[in-house]
Structure 1
Amino acid sequence: MKTESIQQIKADLATINTRSDKRIYQWKKDERSGVQQALAQWERRIQRHEKELALLEEMQLFENNARAKGHRLIVGIDEVGRGPLAGPVVAAAVILPEKFQLLGINDSKKLSAKKRDELYNEIQNQAISIGIGMVDHNKIDEINIYQASKLAMGIALEDLCFIPDYLLIDAMKLDVKIPQENLIKGDARSVSIAAASIVAKVIRDRLMEDYARMFPGYGFENNAGYGTKEHLLGLEKQGICTIHRKTFAPIKDMC
C-alpha cells in the first residue's frame, strides 16, 4: 500500500473532530517525525474543541431547565455600557433555537474583538429573534445608569419579533409579567445571555467607532467611551463633547 504523504495526512487531520476516527490509530504508528508533529497539533486542537463543547453544554443548563418546565421561547438579556463616561447603554435580547450549536461562545468581555465579530455574525444567522434597546447619555443623566440599563433591557424585550415565555437576565429583574431568572455573571453561565452580551457589545463598539469620527481626540474607537488614559487626556485638552455623561466623574466637575 502506498504511504500517505505528510501533507495529505495534515489535510485529513484538519477535517477530523473526533478521537474515534480509525485513521488516528494508524497514523500514531507512523514513525515519521512530520506525522507525529501533525498529530500533536491535532491533539491540541481536539482538546480545545472538547473544552468548547463541554463549556457550551454547561452554558445550556439554564435553557434546558426552562424547557423541561414547558417553556419554549426563552430569551437571554444583557446590557453593555454601564461604566463608560460617554455614549449610550445598549441592551440585547436574544432567543436561540433549541438545537443551537456555536462553539466558542462566552461572556463578551472574555473574547477578542475579532472573535466577537465572528460569533456576532453566527448569532445573527442562527437566532430566532434579536431585540435591541438603546438609552442615550441624556436619559442616563436624567434617570441614572441603573434605571437606564433596566430601560434598555425593556426596550430590547419589546423589540423582539416574538413574545418570550421565559427570561434569563444578567443580574437584573425586569418589571414584566413573564417568568424570569436573574443570574449573577449570567453572561458567563447562560448561552442565551452570552449571545445577548456579544450582540450588545458589538453594536455598541461599532457605534462608538462612528462617534470617534464625529468627536475625534478622545479615542472612542479604542476605549468605547471608558475612562482610559487617552480619553482622560482628551477631556483635559478639549473638554467635554456632546455625548459625554454629565453626571459621571470627572465630567460632572467640568460642567
Structure 2
Amino acid sequence: MKENWSIKEIREKMKKGYSEEEWEAFKKDKRKGVEQLVARENKKKQEKQKLIDMNVDMSVFEARYRGDGYKSIAGVDEVGRGPLAGPVVASAVILNPDVTILGLQDSKKLSARKLDELFEEIQEHAIAISVGVMSASEIDELNIYQATKQAMQKAVEGLNVQADLLLVDAMQLPVPTKQVSLIKGDARSVSIAAASIVAKVTRDRMMTKLADKYPYYGFNRHVGYGTKEHLAALDEHGVTEVHRKSFAPVRERLGML
C-alpha cells in the first residue's frame, strides 16, 4: 500500500473508493485536512447505515410474504386526496428483491430533489410500475374516497406483471388478488413507499403542466392544495375545469354553500 498520501489524493480516494487497509491508514493520519476528510466520510457512513437500517425495517412485510411463497409483491399508494384542484393519482410498484434502493420512505418526508432521484431509481430497477389517475370531474362524480379506490384499482390492473400479493396503504381494493392493508403503509413498507414516490412525482409533474395552462393559480408551487395563494387566486380568477367543485372551499366560491 502506498504511504505518504497527499491530502488531494486522499480526497480523490474517498470519492472513488478505498480499501479497508487504506481507510485505517487515513484514520491514523493526524493532519488536520485529513482529519476533516475522515470526519466527513464517517458522517456519510453513518447516514448510509441509517438508510440501510431503515430499508431492513421497511422490508419486513416483503420478506415475510416472500417466505410464504409470494413472488410478485406490489405496493400500492396514492397522493392527492386533499387538494382543491387536479387529479388523485395512484401507483402500483413491484420492486426487484435483488436490487436494494436506499432511501425509500413516505414521499411527504422527501425533498423534491430526492423524490426525483428515487423516482429514477425505481423506474430503472423495478420489475413493474403502473399509474392510475382520476380527474377532478371524476372525483366530483364519485366522491374522493371512491375515486381514490378506483385510481388504485386502475394502477393494479395496469401492471404488466401480474401481482400475486398487494400491500396497500390503508385501503381494501375490489380486485381478486390477495391483499394486505397497512395503516401508514408508506412508512412501513418499501413497496408502498416506492408507490407513494411514483404517485407523488407523477402528480407533481402533472400539476406543473397545469400551471402552464392556468398561470394565475400557482399549481406548480402548491400542487392544488388550499393555500392562501390558491384561495386568493380562486377569489380573483374564479374556478377552472380542474378544480374539484364538490370540495367546500370551491363550492363556496361557486355560491353553492
Instruction: Provide the TM-score with structure 2 as the length reference.
Output: 0.95
Structure 1 distance, partners of 2:125, 2:246, is 39
Structure 2 distance, partners of 1:22, 1:105, is 32
Q: Structure 1 stretches (4+) deviating beyond 6 angstroms?
A: none
- 8 A contact 1:91–1:134 mirrored in 2: yes
Structure 1 distance, partners of 2:251, 2:167, is 35
What is residue 148 of structure 1 aligned with on the other side?
147
- 8 A contact 2:169–2:182 mirrored in 1: yes
| Structure 2: gaps of 5 or more residues | none
The one-letter amino acid paired with 2:55 is L
- Structure 1 position 59, deviation (Å): 1.1
- Structure 1 position 2, deviation (Å): 4.8
What is residue 8 of structure 1 aligned with on the other side?
9
- Percent identical among aligned pairs is 50
Q: What aligned pairs does 1:9-24 form with structure 2 within 5 A after superposition?
A: 9-16=10-17, 21-24=20-23
What is residue 210 of structure 1 aligned with on the other side?
209
Q: What aligned pairs does 1:167-178 form with structure 2 within 5 A after superposition?
A: 167-178=166-177
- Structure 1 position 254, deviation (Å): 1.9
Structure 2 distance, partners of 1:28, 1:98, is 35
- Structure 1 position 106, deviation (Å): 1.2
**CA distance 1:57–1:15, shift in 2 (3 Å):** farther
- 8 A contact 1:186–1:193 mirrored in 2: yes
Q: What aligned pairs does 1:215-254 form with structure 2 within 5 A after superposition?
A: 215-254=214-253
Cα shift readout 1:181-236 (whole Å, capped 9, x = no counterpart):
11111111111101100000111000000101111111101010001111011011
- Structure 1 position 99, deviation (Å): 1.3
What is residue 189 of structure 1 aligned with on the other side?
188
What is residue 103 of structure 1 aligned with on the other side?
102
What is residue 82 of structure 1 aligned with on the other side?
81
Structure 2 distance, partners of 1:70, 1:3, is 54
- 8 A contact 1:75–1:168 mirrored in 2: yes
Structure 2 distance, partners of 1:29, 1:98, is 39
Instruction: Provide the TM-score with structure 1 as the length reference.
Output: 0.96
Structure 1 distance, partners of 2:98, 2:58, is 13
Query: 110-119 vs 23-32, which deviates more?
Result: 23-32
Matched positions, count: 253
The one-letter amino acid paired with 1:188 is A
- 8 A contact 1:87–1:225 mirrored in 2: yes
Q: Secondary structure of 2:108's match?
A: helix
